[in-house]
Each structure stands twice: as structure tokens, then as C-alpha cells.
Structure 1
Amino acid sequence: MAYSFTVDDVAFLRSGAGEAALSACAELPLTDRTRIADVATAKRVVGEHYAAVLETVLLRRKAVTKVDGADRWLFTADALQQASASAVARHRAKRLEGREVHDVTCSIGADLVELAKMASACTGSDLDEVRLEMARHNCAQAGIEAELFQADALRPRDGNAVVVADPARRDSSGRRTWKPEDFAPPLDELAAVYRGRDLVVKCAPGLPPEVAPWADEIELVSLDGQVREACLWAGDAATVSRRASVLRSDGTQWTITDAEPDEVPVAPAGEWIVDPDGAVVRAGLVRHYGARHGLWQLDARIAYLTGDHPPPGVRAFRVLEHGPYQEKSLRAMLRRHEIGRLEILVRGLDVDPDALRRRMKLNGTSEASVVLTRIGRSPFAFLCRAEVIAPE
């Protein structure tokens, strides 16, 4: 069970003595095997705040690939889990460049730090006093100046600032919840109290659009191929109805919206099959993406695209052989190509890739990918060679 920090813990961690304690414990292994010895060392070196120090060391290690400067930040376990990755937070902040912004659920400051770099003025508030004190520390570590105060997100302040919120998505027992009415604060209440204001709300990517009819724009954001969030935009902050933003850790990114053309044909497979980024699929922009890159659909209801020239910078699948899907015919296809390592992608069929791979009894020396899908009412298999297409 995660450690529960107190305000006194945070005050200690921010002090010179706390910094020295964190430095002294930073190299402890902190594994299951060394736990007893590590705790004994921390008690001897740190004293009464040893548990807060050890938890902070662990959380910093977990955060290093998510939050810039994590080795100097303070976290709680829940706050780190929900915190925006720095690349995602920067993307959102860029859309609000030059605006006055109020982060009404600022937590430990992951979004606040990036917002403050872009906004003309930035304030942050939270009900949780511990997280608020951590945010003060984290802003200072990032060299950010932002007004911070304790407040309920459902009690709006006067003004014209864009309101940014990231409701907690765990119930009273700490379990993740997908019901918007169980968010803290509840999604509908949040939208109601800020009706008429520009509002930006970060949510989980699986949120059904119909639960937020007040949102003028829904943006799906992925980072390095993983869909990270759905962001709801209301008021002048919204510019389209649907948007997909695809980010990479190297700083490259691209966006596609429903303002672009979406007329693509349905036709037999070309030389390549393209599986669009998950943000594009969840945002319902597969046809728009296909139209942008001169691709077409194998089936109007399936998210796979195909064409003779895949988009730059993606991992695409060059078709080697294809035909109606049956396990017997697929097994024969794999043997003809001497496949011993197989990636299986599935859309539109009830197939367990791991179970199917075991049944194929692979014993060749080559590697391939198989794309299983439905065309009309018929299942099809496409044996492919995956290739990463060079960026432009």
C-alpha cells in the first residue's frame, strides 16, 4: 500500500535536512530482497521521516521517464499515476499560449509547470494541502512562478481565465472508476459550474463522448504509440469537433482533425497495410487520415487502411501473401514462408493472438506479421513484413 504523506513530511523533504536525506538514500537498491536492510539504513540515516524519504526515492525512479526533472520533484503514488507526461502537458499548454489560465485541480503541478511556461498568467489550486505543497516545491524546482492556493474546483473564481481541470478518477476505496459522476470533482458538475467559460478537462482515453455533450471538441492524444488521454475542450478553446494528436518523445508530432476531407474508397489491398495510431482510431478520424495520405479502406467498418505508398514515419506492413482466413490455410502459409516468429494483429474478428500463435506451432527461421480482419462478412489473413517507413 502506498505511503500517505503529511504536510510535515513535505516540509521536511523540502528542507536542507530532507534534501540531504534524499541524497543519502538515493542509491539504495529498494528491492524486495533488500527491503529490510534498506529500511534499517533509512531509519538510521533519516530518523522519523524515513518512510517519506524512501517513498520519494521510489516515486522519483518511476517518474523519470514521465516527468521532466523528476529526480528533484515530490510526488504521491496516486498523483504520479494520474499526472500528465511532460510531453503531453506541453502539447496542451501550447494550445493555450498567451492566455490567462487557472489549473483548478493542479495536484503536484505536472500540468501547471508547462502551462505557466506558455500562459500570460497562471494560477493553480487544489483541495489537497499535501499535493499543493508538493506543487509549490515542483514549481520552484522548474523555475516557475505561479500563484498557488487551496480551493475547491467547484467554487469558481471571478475572471476570464481558461479553466484547466484533471478530475481524480478513483473512488473512495482507491479503485479506478470509469463513471464520470464518480470523478472528483464529478464531470457534469465541473462543466455546469464553468458553463460559459473556456474549459479544458483531461480525461481517460476510453471516456465515451456521449457523457460530455457540453464539450465542443474532443482531442485524443497519444505518446510514442500509446493513447494517453482524451482532452475535452469547451468554449473558444475548442477549434474543431474531433482531433487526434500524435506525439513522440523526440519532440516530433502531428495532428489531424475532422475539418480535413474524409472521402476514401473501399477497395482490395494494395502493397501495404497501415494500422493508424490509436489516437486516430479513437477520435474516429481513420478516413481523414487515409484521405491525407492517399490510402483506402479494406472494409468501411474496419480501421485498417491500405495503399501502395505508406505515410512517412510509421510502422507499416508490406503484404507478402493473403487469402481467406482459416487456421489450416494460415498454418500452411506460415510454413511456406518458414515463419518462426509471428506478430498477430486483429480487428473485427474474435481471435486471441496468443492462443492462435501457440496453435500455429511455428518452427521456421523467419519473422513476419499477420493481419487478421474481416472484409464484408468474410475473415481474411494478410501475411506481412513490418517495416518502419523513413520520415520525410
Structure 2
Amino acid sequence: MGYPFTAADVAFLRSPAGAAAAAEVDLLPLTPATHLADVSAARRVAGERAAAVVETVLLRRKAAAKLPDPGGWLFTADALQQATPWPVAVARAQRLTGRAVHDVTCSVGVDLAAAAEVAEIAVGSDVDAVRLAMARGNVAGVTFLRADALRPVSRDTVVLADPARRDSAGRRRWRPADFAPPLDDLAAAYSGRDLAVKCAPGVDPADVPWAGELELVSLDGSVREACLWTGSLATAARRATVLRSDAAPWTITDADDDTCPVTPVGEWIVDPDGAVVRAGLVRHYAARHGLSQVDEHIAYLTGPTPPPGVRAFRVLEHGKYAEKTLRAALARLDVGRVEILVRGLDVDPNALRPRLKPRGSQEASVVLTRIGRTPTAIICRAERT
């Protein structure tokens, strides 16, 4: 939950005295080992607002993983946890360029800030008065108002929403009612409007039939979120958007060619980005890059040349999987450090690895999968193409 900020805390933090206090507290290490000394120092600087200042400094440090320059921003712990990473927010905002945009769950303003850079007009609203006060200071040039997301207060705008997740513990599939406000209620409240709803990547398209497009977004190899698009914003039924810090972004949709054969294991194994897999676009990705599937029900791809800029696996040898046979092969190849990837088999890599007893000097990756009904082990060397 974090520190419970109040409107008075926000007013202080936005004042010159609050800014000066935060700058001075930011010079402290703020580690568990220095906690008592740091708290005493913060109290001398900020008095009764010390807890709010310390929390703000700590949250800004954490925010550096999501925002390019979080200095001066105010957050609550929950708001920062749910905040969209800046590259993802910017990529989504590009589809709103030149439009009037109303972020109806603006929270502290991360998505709104990205939208405001490209929108003709930007409006932010939230039911939480403290977060709204933070957003007013975080994002310039935007109209703010306090409002319930399920009670429309704007017209002729694209509606941007980021409903909160009620409970994320162990959840792989999310249903519309697992969000606050519920996804179906948002869709009903803005029926007929162009709508972009950020949600968890575990949402099943069958549970949101009102969404014209389901987009899965990954950042640096990790699937971060899904976005549901309606109206004129929906330009494909399914889309994968892949963002990387070291390469240009790219997308693929269900409108792309999906002509993809199934062939024996070739020179390389390619494990498509998670956004591609979750969006159900493995065949489309394979067709784009001249790859084939090793099995029509498995997401691993194979071919003579991997796509550029990916981590692919050069095949050393492969055959029917048996633990004893694999252990002998790794010993013969002098493998001492082994990465294990599994898809389509009930194998726990962490339990298997010590049983393989790798003791050599080389590194290898082992892809365990099912080809037809045959459990298969593919020993590879991972390479960045």
C-alpha cells in the first residue's frame, strides 16, 4: 500500500519548501542499514512531512525504471506499480496522434503525459482526489477534473482507460470483473466511442467480444500488457507490438500472411517474442521470416536463418528426449552450464537441471518440446543474431 498521501502532503511537496526538502533527502542513502539515521535526518529537514518526503524520494528512485526523468513527479506506491513503462505509453499514444483524448483513469498521469505530447487536446480525470492533485503537477498543458470513470463527462474524445487490477496473486487469466472499474462496464459506459483500455496480458479475447482489437505489447522481451481497442482505433483483430531499448519497434497482425509449413528441425530454433505467442501470431511471424514450425501446436520455429536482432539457438544435435540420453549427450559435449527451455512437456527445468549433472566447460541451451507425440530434446548454442 505504501505511505497514505494526503492533499496536504501533495501541497507541501509542490511548494518550494517541499521541493527543497526532497532534494536534500535525496542525498541520503535511504537503505535498510541507514534507516534510523536517515529518518532522523529527514525529520530535521521536513518535520511532520518527513514520511511523505522520504516516500516520494524512494518512489522517484523506483520510477527511474519506468520514466526517463521522474524528478519532480509525485506518485503513490500503488500508482507507480501500475504505471505504464514510458516506451509502452509512448507507443500506444502514437495511435492517438492528432485526436482529442480523455484519460478517464488518469491516476498520477503517466499515460496522459504520453498522450498529451501527440494529442490535439488532452483531458485527465480520476475519482481519487490525491492522485488527481499529483497528476496536475506532473503533467502540464492538460485539463483536469475529478470524475467517476463510469460517468462520462466528455464528448467527441477518444477514451483512454487503465482500470486497476483487483488482485494479481497467481493470476494467469483475467476476466472483465477482475478490474476496477470492470472492463464490461467501461465498454458499456462509452458504447459507440473510440476506446483504448489497458489491461493485463492474460485477458482472453472471448471474454471481451466488444473489443475490436486485442494488442499484446512486450518491452525488452517481457510481455507488459494488453490493450483493447474499439471503433476506428481497431485496425486488426489481433496485434503484437514488440518494443526494445536497442532496436526499432515492430508490429505484426492477423492480417499478415500466415503461410507456414511444418518441417523437421533445421539449423536454428527460434522462440518468438512472448507478445507474438500470446497474440496467437506465431505462424504469421514465421511466414514473415521464412521459418517453419516444428509442430503445428508448438510455438518453437526452425529454419536456415534466424530473424535479425533476436536471440536464437543454433542446433547442435537433437533426438527423442530421455533424461539419461540427454545427460550423456551433455557430458559428451563437455557442457557444464545449461539453460533449459520447455514448451509442450511437463518438465520442471529447475528440478531437471541438477539431475543432468553438467560438469563440463561449455555452455548450452536445451529445448525440450513435443514433436507430434514424441518428446524431443534439442541441444543448442544460444547466439545473438
Q: How does 1:100-249 map to 2 (within 5 A)?
A: 100-139=100-139, 144-170=140-166, 178-249=174-245
Q: Which residue of 2 aligns with 1:328?
A: 324
Match of 2:306 among 307, 310, 318: 310
> In the alignment, residue 52 of structure 1 is paired with which amino acid?
A
Kept in 1: contact 2:102–2:154 (CA 8 A):
no
The number of aligned residues is 383
Q: How does 1:1-392 map to 2 (within 5 A)?
A: 2-139=2-139, 144-170=140-166, 178-250=174-246, 252-389=248-385
- Measure, in 1, the Cα distance between the counterparts of 2:27 and 2:333: 50
Identity %: 66
Kept in 2: contact 1:170–1:176 (CA 8 A):
no
Cα deviation for residue 361 of structure 1 reads 1.0
- Measure, in 1, the Cα distance between the counterparts of 2:206 and 2:46: 51
Deviations 1:293-342 (A, max 9, x none): 00000000000000001001100000001110000000011011100111
Deviates most, 204-213 or 312-321: 204-213
Kept in 1: contact 2:175–2:207 (CA 8 A):
no
Secondary structure in 2 matching 1:47: helix
TM-score (norm 1): 0.96
TM-score (norm 2): 0.97
Secondary structure in 2 matching 1:106: coil
- Measure, in 2, the Cα distance between the counterparts of 1:254 and 1:309: 19
Kept in 1: contact 2:175–2:204 (CA 8 A):
no
Cα deviation for residue 176 of structure 1 reads 8.8
> In the alignment, residue 4 of structure 2 is paired with which amino acid?
S
- Measure, in 2, the Cα distance between the counterparts of 1:297 and 1:176: 30
> In the alignment, residue 375 of structure 2 is paired with which amino acid?
P
Deviates most, 245-254 or 344-353: 245-254
Structure 1: gaps spanning 5 or more residues: none
Cα deviation for residue 158 of structure 1 reads 4.2
Deviations 1:248-289 (A, max 9, x none): 124620000000011101110110000000000000000000
| Cα separation, partners in 2 of 1:182 and 1:260, compared to 1, 3 Å | closer
Kept in 1: contact 2:99–2:120 (CA 8 A):
yes
Kept in 1: contact 2:147–2:153 (CA 8 A):
no
> In the alignment, residue 153 of structure 1 is paired with which amino acid?
A
Kept in 2: contact 1:273–1:306 (CA 8 A):
yes
- Measure, in 2, the Cα distance between the counterparts of 1:317 and 1:250: 20
> In the alignment, residue 307 of structure 1 is paired with which amino acid?
G
- Measure, in 1, the Cα distance between the counterparts of 2:365 and 2:282: 21
- Measure, in 1, the Cα distance between the counterparts of 2:52 and 2:125: 23
Secondary structure in 2 matching 1:357: helix
- Measure, in 2, the Cα distance between the counterparts of 1:216 and 1:383: 41
Cα deviation for residue 180 of structure 1 reads 2.4
CA RMSD of aligned residues (A): 1.3
Kept in 2: contact 1:169–1:176 (CA 8 A):
no
| Cα separation, partners in 2 of 1:109 and 1:250, compared to 1, 3 Å | farther
